[in-house]
Structure 1
Amino acid sequence: MITKLFTSPIKQGLIASVLLCGLTSAPSWAAKQSLDRVAAQINNDIIMESEVKERIDVVKLQILDAGRPLPPEHVLTQQIIEQLVLEELQLQLAQRAGIRISDQELNQSVANIAQKSGMTIEQFKTALEEEGTNYASARAQIKREMIISRVRQNQVNRRIKITDQEVKAFLESDEGKEKISPEYQIAHITIPVSASAAPEVVAEKRKEAIKVMNFWKKEGNSFETATKKFSQYQAGRSDWAKIQNIPSLFDEPLSNLEKGEFSQLIKSDIGFHVLKLLDKRGGDNFIINKTHVRHILIKPNIIRDTNQARLIAEDLYQQIMDGADFANLARSKTDDTGSAVNGGDLGWMSGEELVPSFAKTMNNTAIDEVSKPFESQFGWHILQVLGRKDENMASQYQKAIAKNYLRKRKFQDELQNWLQELKDDAYTEIKL
């Protein structure tokens, strides 16, 4: 079922009723009252009995599809009401905090869901329609989940504290050492030869393996080019993998290779292997390309929408092109209060630290060049690249991995604490 595509961690296995019912927006209080009963009041908003029943229908389908027994009706009803109440409280908080999802972000999220299902956007739309789900409703539900997810990340992560002592203990543990061990991307071509082959056959196969290696090493020849030319031989390419997930035959050769290098021919019981290290990261050698960048951010807000924010950014860009000082404009115009005092200077940044649209623009901008305005989840940016350098970030990388792992481990416990506090601080009345 297509509806399964929308199951996300923020729902904990639940799918909003909009996916099955084709509702494009929440009805008004007056319209709701004329249709059915109020199931719950949350501050100044309500949940209707029809919404509860719709969600119950979806969840029942999921439970039965998974082959699990249905809980008693009254238990399931209370669980669904509780879930809807928590969702509504988080959406209310998101509205107060001004959290928004841009069309660009939503489009990308929809595209990702379609891609994971092996579909194009058009195929995805068709599949939804065939199940009776309105595409606009599906987009609305995805957006709802994205908003709730962003609220949780913002609110819960700021509550989680990771001490230096915790990081140190984790890095010294067996689990920590495994997490920070190097990762490799490799490619190899195998020229088969039987372990019982005659010496002259082995010698001939060795010559063939050397021929394959020399061709592959030739400038301009990629792995794809080599495998196409020698398609009679087995070949493989790995995504990022730790040494324990790579054939042990390659352990020792990999330890002595740098990015882009070939190993000596490797002989095994099944033949000769031509091995190339495509890339390496982690361990004690983690070189990161860093960019010195500054920016001006114009955020949409209550009095201006995203199009008006774009127009302001375009006007500032034109002023810079006409000779205005970037730093002075940043101090007076940017909505990024953290960098405003420094003329928009963000310091030395890597792409991994930034949202994708910012990283992509930064990486495609030459030193001293000013980018045209572009949009991210935070608003509209103009950036200028001031310099670039390579830096060994192994120590910082290892600590970041440790903090990220520890934060994920603490997240669910802290999430439940936060949700309970959110509920305790709200006016909630269950009417069913």
Structure 2
Amino acid sequence: MQKIIKSLRWMLIFLAMGQGYAETLDRIVAIVEDDVILARDLAREEAVIKQRIAASNSQMPPDYVLRKQVLEKMIIDKLQRQLAERAGVTVSEEMLNGSAEDIAQRNRMTMEQFRAEIESQGITYKAFLENLRNEIIVNQLRAREIGARVKVTDREIDHYIETQGKIGDQAIQYHLGHILLAVKENASASDVQKAQSKANELFEKLNAGQDFSETAISQSNDANALKGGDLGWRTIADIPSLFTDVVKDMKRGDVAGPIRSPSGFHIVKMLDVKGVDDHIITKTKVRHILIKTNELVDDNEARKRLLALRARIDDGDDFAVLARSHSDDKGSAIKGGLLDWVSPGDLVKPFEEAMAKLGVNQISEPVQTQFGWHLIQVLDRENKDNSTEYQRNLVRDAIRKRKIEEETELWMRRLRDEAYVEIYDDRL
């Protein structure tokens, strides 16, 4: 009944537009709840995906297959954005621009170079920012809907290490390809049998040499389908638990499956394997004096005060005594400014960068962070094998990531199954 009402509502809208006016509008290829996907948007997304497939040297699937996959991806994206809008999830311009700058830095480019690189690929920077905004919104939505309820206990970590071994003992990373033939939660026995038969057929063809990437693009129902099913490099801890026992015995080029899960039938391929180095970190024993800025103390005044304190230390005054009487970081001030031993990532980036440039017992010039202005002194450094703690953190992150992936797959499938979607395209 709800679908009939919605169909009638859209029919009335079209009739009300009038034939002459309707002809000036772009053709609608799908209705997704109360929104639409236009032919020009679908064509634009198809062009982007084709360019990506060509750049990866994968074989291009037939146009009708690619079109179906791209439209399905757009439907899922639109449903997620609609849900995000209802939930009040937004992205500020500051956050958006900051994310773009982070991507540029990771690619070792200035913003000018990064922007030129994007536009050289036929994508406007405005379109890139809009896609990035949507990606951030969807990630925030998933974190809200799924991430917040996924917990990992110490007992789970201990159990994993007992049964799977330590991360450091694995010393292997796997590059996996993945194909999912989805099955609805309430699918009939006949539908399940059809999906299994199709999965068995695909498995035989892939083992006979059929291109995995092309098959994933044309057949897979998972979120990585348009990337050729590429899951990237992962340790055994990062791989869904459904595949771990299978993956450990696979060699480069092996195909395994079909593997049944609540989402459907999975086929995985071992694209490549490589080793992993031990985890050694440099820990730093550091202390500081902080001067915060406020209505009475601006940046210049805070910097002047720290320079005066530094001059007193150079003349023989004790750093710890001055920290106790002058530092605005009350937690460390009572310990003479001591932050004790810190690991990479424990402190904010400007502080860590300045600290890394100091020799033992050397005192910095005034350094500005979001908390105010600092004098920093490094007291000692040591290299430490952090493998045990690192392993536990890796296992914790891996179990959490695995749970989130499994929950996200089910959540997205449920979101799609429960949504009102009508497709108006004779080619699909």
What TM-score does the superposition give when structure 2 sets the normalisation length? 0.44
What TM-score does the superposition give when structure 1 sets the normalisation length? 0.44
